[in-house]
Amino acid sequence: MNCRGPFAAFVLVLCATAVSAQDLEPRAYAAAPIGTTFLVVAGARSTGSVLTDPSLPIEDVEARVGAVAVGGGTTVSLVGRTALVLGVLPIARAHAAGRVGETAGSVDRTGLGDARAKLSVNLVGGRAVGLEEFARMERPTIVGVSLSIVAPTGQYDRTKLINLGAHRWACKPEAGISHRVRQWTIEGYAGVWLFTDNDEFFTGSAIRSQERILAFQTHVSYTFKPRLWVAVDGTWYSGGTTTVDGVRKADLQKNSRVGATMSLPIGRWQSLKFSGSTGATTRVGSDFNTFGVAWQLSWFR
């Protein structure tokens, strides 16, 4: 059946923007020697409900979003500090269903998602060194900064409310700290998502803007040996109220998520990472259970 009206408008937000704010990235500022290069192939599946603006006549919204992503990155020296440059391109498939009054509807989309790139620099504990010197150095505390950028490469049709791409740019400046005590590592990040306007919102003549989203993460991990570790993850994010043609919506987000991550080495150059997370509190937005697996191949230039 076709999906129309406010239900479809809300699912657009779900498919195109919800994942960014829900990021859980343990060891995002981990130290690495200069010349470390990696290739990653990852898959994730999210299922759950969507909590909408209580004033809207929308009920029983359920969604499934699956994605496969290919990415890569490398460490370089930036003014004598270790910097990581990476990029990711996803392909997604989304299905959502719900009711508007007495009318049930559903929608499916398959195609490219919005591409992401990230530059991070370790300011403390991040002096740029090669592999041999890196193996001899101790880095109990790391302080880093990063900038993530989301480009509007995803599938988008201005005549449809349901799209995989957001048709806008987004960026996230962030600062993070990581402190190691023996095998334990404690991390905290703070950042803010900023968005440009979508000036071709349904049906191509509306302008949709979104306020910033403040996002905080914390992780506690235990390392058994190099590349074999487990982590407990948490995030809280707030903001993101939208406006369409000057009309402010009642969709302020104040949500939190918890999860866990495990990294397993496969031989000398490969590893697998398994992750899972669920909504702890959800005011408005997607209340998803998410499971993912990623394969990584690393080598040194």
pLDDT, tens digit, 9 for 90 and up, residues 133-191: 988 888 789 999 999 999 999 999 988 877 888 899 999 999 999 999 999 999 999 99
Residues across the chain: 301
Burial of 91-128, coded b for 16+ CB within 10 Å and e otherwise, reads bbbbbbbbebeeeebebebebebbbbbbbbbbeebbbb
| Torsion (CA) 110, 280, 254, 161 in degrees, nearest 10 | 20
Query: What value, to the nearest 5°, has the Cα angle with vertex 276 and ends 275 and 281?
Result: 140
pLDDT, one tens digit per residue, over 38-97 is 999 999 998 888 766 555 556 677 888 898 999 999 999 999 999 999 999 999 898 888
- The pLDDT of residue 59: 67
Domain boundaries, given as residue ranges, for the chain: 5-300
CB neighbour list of residue 18: distance below 8 Å, 6 or more residues apart: 285, 286, 288
Stretch (H or E) spanning 75: strand 58-78
Query: What CATH number has the domain spanning 5-300?
Result: 2.40.128.130
Residue 7 three-state SS: helix
Separation of CA 22 from chain center: 6
Q: What residue ranges in 226-284 does DSSP mark as E strands? A: 228-239, 242-244, 247-248, 253-266, 270-281
Return the half-sphere exposure (C-beta side, CA atoms, 13 A cut-off) of residue 218.
5
Q: Given pLDDT bands bounded at 50, 70 and 90, which one contains residue 228?
A: very high
